């Protein structure tokens, strides 16, 4: 059985994952609007991953006897000045999620909730991959000096 504090913290994480889902959908809409359908596709796939993360936590709360309480999801930003700024926004969100997951993991240890600590380990590993992949895209975008270079990134992300 989850403690009330752990249940509340996990519910907050459900909301954060839902916000991440919305953010990636907003990014997909932005890239569709500026005619980069391959990058938009990549963003949609990221949104789907965030939805999966949200549901993992949702189901975990239920499996452990907690109650899921859904709260309002903040509206994400919907316009950026450049593709690199859009990806930087995504990276900033992933860093917030990483920090929140680490705090949840610490809380699980403080409460001697070994099951939650083990459950959260998957998310810790996942966040390393999330931050790394977006950081790599940002670094590539920083090196792009021509429209042709951006189109190569577009093509690569479309192949995901």
Instruction: Report pLDDT digits (tens) over 117-153.
Output: 999 999 999 999 999 999 999 999 999 988 888 999 9
What pLDDT is stored for residue 105 in this prediction?
98
- How far apart are alpha carbons 28 and 43 in whole angstroms? 5
- Confidence (pTM): 0.95
State the CB neighbour count (10 A cutoff) for residue 111.
15
Report pLDDT digits (tens) over 85-118. 999 999 999 999 999 999 999 999 999 999 999 9
Domains defined for the chain, CATH in brackets? 4-158 (1.20.1260.10)
The Cβ-side half-sphere exposure at 117, using a 13 Å CA radius, reads: 9
What pLDDT is stored for residue 146 in this prediction?
84
Q: Across residues 2-6, what is the average pLDDT?
A: 97
Whether residue 146 contacts residue 155, with contact meaning beta carbons closer than 8 Å, is answered with: no
**Structure tokens given for 12:** 């907050």
What pLDDT is stored for residue 148 in this prediction?
87
What pLDDT is stored for residue 160 in this prediction?
83
**Backbone φ, ψ for residue 111 (5° rounding):** -95, 5
Q: What average pLDDT does the chain have?
A: 97
Report pLDDT digits (tens) over 42-77. 999 999 999 999 999 999 999 999 999 999 999 999
């Amino acid at each position: 059985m989850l403690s009330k504090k752990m249940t509340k913290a996990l519910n907050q994480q459900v909301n954060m994952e839902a916000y991440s889902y919305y953010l990636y959908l907003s990014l997909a809409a932005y890239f569709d609007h500026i005619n980069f359908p391959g990058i938009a596709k990549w963003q949609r796939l990221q949104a789907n991953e965030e939805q999966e993360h949200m549901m993992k936590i949702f189901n975990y709360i239920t499996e452990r006897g907690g109650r899921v309480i859904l709260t309002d999801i903040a509206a994400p930003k919907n316009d950026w000045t450049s593709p690199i700024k859009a990806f930087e926004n995504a990276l900033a969100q992933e860093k917030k999620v990483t920090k929140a997951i680490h705090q949840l993991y610490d809380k699980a240890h403080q409460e001697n909730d070994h099951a939650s600590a083990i459950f959260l380990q998957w998310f810790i590993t996942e966040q390393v991959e999330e931050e790394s992949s977006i950081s790599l895209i940002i670094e590539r975008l920083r090196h792009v000096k021509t429209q042709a270079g951006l189109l190569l990134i577009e093509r690569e992300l479309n192949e995901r």
